[in-house]
Amino acid sequence: MARAFIARPTDRRRAHPGPLHVFTPHRLAASLDLVLAAIPQARREKSPGLCIALSGGLDSTVLLVALAQLANAGSLAARLRAIHVDHSLHPDSTQWSRACRELAASHGVDFDEVRVAVNLDAGQSPEAAARMARYAALAARLEPGEVLLTAHHADDQLETILLQWLRGGGLRSIAGMAPLGRFGAAAWHARPLLEFTRDELAAWADTQGLRWHEDPSNLDRRFDRNYLRLEVLPALRQRWPAVAATAARVADYARDALEAEAAWVADDLPRVLAGTAVELDALQTLPGPRQRAVLRAWLAGLGLPPASARNLAALLRDMTVAAGDRIPETRWPGAVVRRYRGRLHAEAAGTIAPNQGSWPTAGRETYAWSGGSGIALLPDVGAGLSRERLPARIDVRSRTGGEAFLPAGGAHHRPLRKWLQEHGVLPWRRENLPLLFAGDRLVAVADLGVAAEFAARSDEPSWRIAWSERGAVTEADVLSSKWPADPPIR
């Protein structure tokens, strides 16, 4: 196969040279070529660019210098540049940025710098908050088809696997960091140093006389990753010197298993989906592991937080043992799943109080209801509310119970409770529907129906009610929606 990124070295080695080994630029070239070969041919750019995430530490310094040497020797067929992200969290960050710029310039590598603001009040660790800000900044500056190169090495992989395992992660945590993945809308993220240890990178850096900076926060044992690196991993390496290589091999096995699982899900999920809901009977025809895999993929496609193994077990138990006339639900932080009429429905968890109040309809201003949703009146003819008979001011309220009205096209007054059931309104959406009132007379039920006395005639100028950002309100909404959700459920 022709290599699009790296010119062929004369001493081409095996794609995976076995255990972790001495670092050289040519071995980096072989590793990078293998990683990037996984990009589908149809998605490769004619002149792909490589962008190094340059922190100025040992790892990214080695990555930049080695690739620059390949480029200067004519062995790199791709355009090379570097980006440094200044998090502004350390008083020496400006000095580090300057050192990165000088390093790139001394090796003829184009350089860009971006300063980010890290939100330390978002309920995340400082490390996670900085990483989120850094990756968002990098994604915004990558070109279509460009490949972001980060200098994660074998010891980083080992730390990641152990951390995720200790936090109770599943197969995906054992798989660690992937050598290649999508990054943002149109770019890629590659980690070509995963088969080298930090000691091997440091040994090569010494032969080159390289200098780099060490972030003093890396010595703070309060952070889990630092504690592992400084306290736990030295003991593991003393007992099992090849522990990083072993972890890398296990990660490969886990990624193979995840690919197999993805293939099952690709076949199983369409069989159980009903719009954005899951048919429980169809789900139960699958073996247990495939049920859980389908549910994980279903939730991910809806943009909802993943469920732990315990949550999934509770979900499957609760949804199958509850009586047929009940609406069981399973919750975990950020998500709730309910069973209704034989289907599983998932949405974001949380209680959002509706904004009840008076609405001057004459001004045609959008009424803010709840959760970012709003109610507006759009001009129409014969659809919705009569412009002539709609009062200049109405009240917008939630249900209190006992409401009744004569719906347009109906022959008799109907209790609102019965009308909602007949129209397939999801039970958990019924209590917070925006109801429009003129005094004590019900004018309209959200955007679902209007009262006969306020309904426009077929040729009459009218106001059509539009409820924006409302999500799925009825079973018909759910069945007509597409999975995965775009935009995801909020």
- Counting beta carbons within 10 angstroms of the beta carbon of residue 385, is it exposed (0 to 12), middle (13 to 18) or buried (19 or more)? buried
331 shares a domain with 184: no
Tokens encoding 35: 């990683």
Q: Output phi, psi for 453, to 5 deg.
A: -70, -15
Residue 162 tokens read as 């152990």
For residue 10, the model assigns a pLDDT of 33
**In this structure, is residue 432 part of a structural domain?**
yes
Q: What is d(CA 234, CA 15) in angstroms, rounded to the nearest whole number?
A: 29
Indicate whether 263 belongs to any domain.
no
179 and 231 co-located in one domain = yes
Three-state DSSP class for residue 191: coil
Same structural domain, 339 and 367:
no
Six-digit token string for 195:
């088969």
Domain identity same for 121 and 53: yes
Residue 244 lies in a domain: no
Report pLDDT for 122. Answer: 56
Q: How many domains does the chain have?
A: 3
The whole-angstrom separation of Cα 199 and Cα 202 is 5
Q: Are residues 337 and 398 in the same domain?
A: no
Q: Is residue 101 part of a domain?
A: yes
Out of 348, 376, 391, a domain closes at 348
Report the side by side order of strands in the sheet with 147-149.
Answer: 110-115, 79-86, 49-53, 147-149, 187-190, 180-183
Domain boundary among 239, 259, 292: 239
Phi, psi of 467 (to 5 degrees): -110, 105
Q: Look-up: residue for tokens 């190094």?
A: 52
Q: What is the pLDDT of residue 12?
A: 31
Asked if 35 and 167 sit in the same domain, the reply is yes
- How do the pLDDT tens digits run along the chain, 490 residues long? 333 333 333 333 333 434 445 899 999 999 999 999 888 875 666 657 999 999 999 999 999 999 999 999 999 888 999 999 988 777 777 899 999 999 999 999 999 999 888 776 655 666 777 888 888 889 889 988 899 999 999 999 999 999 888 887 778 888 899 999 998 878 999 999 999 999 999 999 999 999 998 877 777 788 888 899 899 999 999 999 999 989 989 888 999 998 999 999 999 999 999 999 999 999 999 999 999 999 999 999 998 998 988 999 999 999 999 998 999 999 999 999 999 999 999 999 877 789 999 999 887 899 999 988 999 999 999 999 999 999 999 999 999 999 999 999 988 999 999 999 999 999 999 999 999 999 999 999 999 999 999 999 999 999 999 999 999 999 999 999 999 865 554 3
Indicate whether 95 belongs to any domain.
yes
Residue 228 has what DSSP assignment?
I
DSSP one-letter string for 288-312 = HHHHHHHHHHHHHHTTPPPPPHHHH
Residue 250 resides in a domain? no
- The burial class, CB within 10 Å (0-12 / 13-18 / 19+), for 312 is buried
Pair type for strands 180-183 and 187-190:
antiparallel
In a domain, 15, yes or no: no
Statement to judge: residues 320 and 366 lie in one domain: no
The residue segments making up the domain with residue 291 are 272-348
Q: Of 463, 221, 261, which is closest to residue 366 (Cα–Cα)?
A: 463
The answer as to whether 14 is a domain residue is no
Residue 81, exposed/middle/buried by CB under 10 A (0-12, 13-18, 19+)? middle
Q: What is the pLDDT of residues 285-327, one digit of tens each?
A: 999 999 999 999 999 999 899 898 899 999 999 999 999 899 9
Task: Tell me the sheet residues that pair with 381.
Answer: 461
- Please, which residues have CB within 8 angstroms of residue 471's CB and are 6 or more apart in sequence? 347, 373, 477, 489, 490
Q: CATH number of the domain at 213, please.
A: 3.40.50.620
pTM for the predicted model, two decimal places: 0.73
Regarding whether 226 and 85 lie in a shared domain, the answer is yes
Identify whether residues 56 and 199 lie together within a single domain.
yes
- Same-domain pairing of 326 and 380: no
Q: Is residue 340 located within the same domain as residue 371? A: no
Domain at 332, CATH number: 1.20.59.20
Claim to verify: residue 51 and residue 178 sit in the same structural domain? yes
